[in-house]
A and B are shown apart, each in its own frame.
Chain A
Amino acid sequence: AQSVTQPDIHITVSEGASLELRCNYSYGATPYLFWYVQSPGQGLQLLLKYFSGDTLVQGIKGFEAEFKRSQSSFNLRKPSVHWSDAAEYFCAVGAHQAGTALIFGKGTTLSVSS
């Protein structure tokens, strides 16, 4: 079955500390992988995406993610978290095919402590 697992429901990180959000996927085809961020009551904003090539991808707001095919993982990282990074983060997977619907994980809520 195709699925995305985000093992951590809620993470709290101190401001200035590093962050890693985990994402594991199960997908039959070669995957497109995405990370989105959502502020309360808002839509989702794309942070970064992986289609092919370099397995370390850079995104907006200083985020990066690494695709590890052998581990079926696409973990999101940031070296130094800012209070404004507090939000909900979603990992998603889709196929290399136009119009294919993405499958989303259940999300990880990030809190930032001062």
Chain B
Amino acid sequence: DGGITQSPKYLFRKEGQNVTLSCEQNLNHDAMYWYRQDPGQGLRLIYYSQIVNDFQKGDIAEGYSVSREKKESFPLTVTSAQKNPTAFYLCASSPTGGGGYTFGSGTRLTVV
């Protein structure tokens, strides 16, 4: 079945460490997105990519980085520069021509 896979589901990181969250889709979607979710804040856009080897900053890109070397993959790195990284991270994709997103099941990152 087609879908988006995020891994791992839970991730713990020590302060000062970088960590990479995986997002893979087999839907043949061109566009992919990363959102951060905090209680009461809704979803805030971190980065998005419309095509391979191209991506744009969202509203809260500071302290994060991404790459889009393959259509299927859009990993997110949370760097040590991100001051408050503990959150639930959601990856999504959408087809060419617009339309709704398909979401992954999320990764909960906790800084310990």
- A interface vs B, CB < 8 Å? 9, 32, 34, 36, 41-46, 49, 51, 90, 94-107
Overall SS of chain B's interface: strand
Whether B45 is near chain A, meaning CB under 8 Å from some CB there, is yes
Contacts of A104 in B (CB 8 A): 35, 42-43
Interface string of B1-36 (1 = CB under 8 A from A): 000101000000000000000000000001101010
Q: Beyond A41-B108, A46-B101, A90-B42: 12 further Cβ-contacts under 8 Å?
A: A32-B98, A34-B100, A42-B105, A43-B6, A43-B103, A45-B103, A46-B100, A98-B30, A99-B98, A101-B33, A104-B35, A104-B42
Contact A42 B106 (CB under 8 A): yes
Contact A106 B40 (CB under 8 A): yes
Q: Which of A9, A45, A100, A101 has the most CB of B within 10 A?
A: A101
Contacts of A49 in B (CB 8 A): 99-100
- B interface vs A, CB < 8 Å? 4, 6, 30-31, 33, 35, 40-43, 45, 48, 50-51, 58, 88, 90, 92, 94-106, 108
Contacts of A99 in B (CB 8 A): 30-31, 48, 50-51, 94, 96, 98
Report the nearest B residue to A4, measured CB to CB.
Answer: B42
Contacts of B99 in A (CB 8 A): 32, 49
Contact B106 A105 (CB under 8 A): no
Contacts of A96 in B (CB 8 A): 98
A43 touching B48 in the complex, CB below 8 Å, given contacts A98-B31, A106-B40: no
Contact A101 B45 (CB under 8 A): yes
